[in-house]
Structure 1
């Protein structure tokens, strides 16, 4: 005797509805994941920020708005602010004034910021006799005055000497390497004599290999004879 099939209480859903439900579940999970990733943990953000600042020479995390999140456990000490944030404007103002005074004396000068170094570029044509590392007496006074004005910042300085491409006609210097290096050392010694901390001073000779103008005319060669003060912005 055949069994009688019981009628279904609810009709079966269409086959496509199962796939559609799975798709909606996956989309919901995906958007929940995106939302969770978009919420920034301030604590972790400050930790990353602190690591980056310290990696680039900073000592403490400084917040431009003048404070830190109360829930943050990262100490913020405003008395030890990163130097570039706290003193950069003052140094730039002093360098700008020095440049203006040098230009007023007829000495070509300029400044630029490269990475963590503020460079003061000074033409040496009126500061050193041609082929000599000994500055003129008035040039010595000028360098000593610059030392007095930069000494309060107590920042490391590298003196970089440059020459033109003309060969040195002086038995004291076999090449422009030696001449450029000795001019840089002469300025370094003047800074040391005025009380600038000697342990943060250095000198290098670049010779003729980093010109700022083509060495094709007397005027351009004069531009290439220079001393550059590389003042490190990170103490």
Structure 2
């Protein structure tokens, strides 16, 4: 009987084969990551251009030249939805509030999630029981529109009243009065040049008070127009 030839070295354990395959896959993965780290500027700008256009922005224009260096500064001043920061909008609203304060009109700025509200008391904007602004209030409303127009954001204009009932041929209730006042402000915004597609109006009557209607001060605070700026998501 022939003698069995003695093996010179032992066979590797079975797990070592799987471990070798895993290391090969990891090496391939890191080589792939390294190859992707080399960015083609032309393809990069094309991709950014598509994203900007999808969100309603403008074209990305860049010079056809070789850019040296690792850090490439890219600026998109007209990119939507970050046309203007929330901070810039808040600063503009506080500027409007100071303008109203100088004219003796009470106002305040309130923040609600993805919207900011400019609340303006209507006692010096509209005569009691009327939806037609005072003649001297019209330039003021137009100036508010001019300051907000640069942001080009959707705006809802709400009309609010106190709880004292009104009954007239034109306005059977505060619902109609609040809606008519909101629409009057909206029409002035359109005359100012604001995009009508981004404007809407609503009448809330006395049903969304921000103060008690038991005192004259509270009722005055509830008589208001709210300019609601809807911020981009």
Task: Provide TM-score, normalisation by structure 1.
Answer: 0.64
Query: Residue 25 of structure 1 corresponds to which residue in structure 2?
Result: 20
Question: How many pairs align?
Answer: 219
Displacement after TM superposition at 1:164 (Å): 3.8
Determine the structure 1 residue equivalent to 2:163.
166
For residues 120-199 of structure 1, what are the structure 2 equivalents within 5 Å? 120-147=118-145, 153=150, 155=152, 158-164=155-161, 166=163, 168-171=165-168, 172-193=170-191, 195-196=192-193, 199=196
Match of 1:58? Answer: 57
> Deviation digits for residues 52-75 of structure 1, max 9, x if unmatched?
444433234599xxxx9959xxxx
Distance 1:117 1:24, change over 3 A: same
Q: Is the 8 A contact 1:131 1:170 kept in 2?
A: no
**Partners in 2 of 1:37 and 1:113 — Cα distance?**
47
State the distance in 1 between where 2:226 and 2:16 align.
71
Q: CA deviation at 1:178?
A: 2.0
Q: 2: distance between equivalents of 1:136 and 1:33?
A: 75
Whether the aligned pair in 2 keeps the contact of 1:160 and 1:229 (CA below 8 Å) is yes
Q: Secondary structure at the match of 1:137?
A: coil
Q: Distance in 2 between matches of 1:210 and 1:58?
A: 39
Partners of 2:132 and 2:184 within 8 A in 1? yes
Post-superposition shift, 1:5? 1.4
Q: Which runs of 5+ in 1 are unaligned?
A: 72-76
Indicate if the aligned counterparts of 1:181 and 1:204 stay in contact, CA closer than 8 A: yes
TM-score normalised by the chain length of structure 2: 0.65
Distance 2:102 2:166 in 1: 32
- Normalized per residue, which structure has more helix? 1
TM-align CA RMSD: 4.4
Deviations 1:122-159 (A, max 9, x none): 222332233321222332232234345556x3836645
User: Deviations for 1:56-98, whole angstroms, at most 9, x for unmatched residues?
Assistant: 33234599xxxx9959xxxxx9797226656668766544322
